[in-house]
Amino acid sequence: MNQNKWVGVVAVVSLILGIYLAITIAPPDISKKPLSEQTEFMSWYPQARALNDFVLTNHNNQTMTNADLKGKWTLAFVGYTFCPDICPVTLAEINKIYPELAQQASSTPLQVWFLSVDPRRDTTERLNEYIQYFNEDFIASTGPHDQLFPLVRSMGMMYAMSDDMSNPNYLVDHSASIVVINPDGNVVGRFKPKQELGKLSISDMDELKVDVPILLKQG
């Protein structure tokens, strides 16, 4: 009987001590960790990468330069409007989650940038029609290959034109990751496409819904 009483006393004391510690000892401040340790899915580069200086033309027939990436978080995707699958599906999926993500932006807005690497076919008019089909807030741009090649490479991405461009329906090989550019205009990482048998290899939007708000809250 006495033993049971002691067990009860120890249990009560342990409970009180636990409550006291929970109240008096503050949990670690996650916000003080580096962003790379706060996100769960994004693949961070070891160091932020400066983008190659570029001068492009956007879908509104206006000049676009590195300055247009400053002061905002940017989700960038490399592709082309004649892409039969990965490009339209990725943009459509980003569009589904974009309103939710944009609402969580505080002082630093979010923009989505579609970079066409097929300037031969992707005219300003075509880019305008294409990108507005997905979202009027999205940006699309292109330029000559001497601007595009070094820019895409500085993103950590790649593209390659078809060997037979005499065929009007030629294809362009390109990376399928969604690149993340910080408000300083530097590339900091990417969301890699998921490789699943029998499925299109695109980035997982559920992963973006978890990690992008963390970036936006940091400004």
Non-local CB neighbours of 140 within 8 Å, separated by 6+ positions: 58, 59, 113, 114, 115, 116, 127, 128, 130, 131
Residue 3 lies in a domain: no
Q: What is the C-alpha separation between 131 and 60, in angstroms, rounded?
A: 11
Surface-to-core class of residue 85, CB atoms within 10 Å of its CB (0-12 exposed, 13-18 middle, 19+ buried): exposed
Give residue 29's pLDDT band: very low, low, confident or very high (50, 70, 90): very low
pLDDT digits (tens, 9 = 90+) for 30-52: 456 888 899 999 999 999 999 99
3-class DSSP state of 143:
coil
Residue 96 lies in a domain: yes
Residue 4 lies in a domain: no
Residue 49 lies in a domain: yes
Query: pTM (2 decimals)?
Result: 0.83
Residue 13 lies in a domain: no
- Report the first-to-last Cα separation within the chain, whole angstroms: 62
CATH of residue 213? 3.40.30.10
Residue 16 lies in a domain: no
Residue 187 forms beta bridges with which residues? 49, 181
Amino acid making up residue 44: W
The DSSP call for residue 81 is: T
Provide the domain limits for residue 65: 32-218
The DSSP call for residue 194 is: P
Q: How many distinct structural domains can be found in the chain?
A: 1
pLDDT digits (tens, 9 = 90+) for 63-112: 999 999 999 999 999 999 999 999 999 999 999 999 999 998 777 899 99
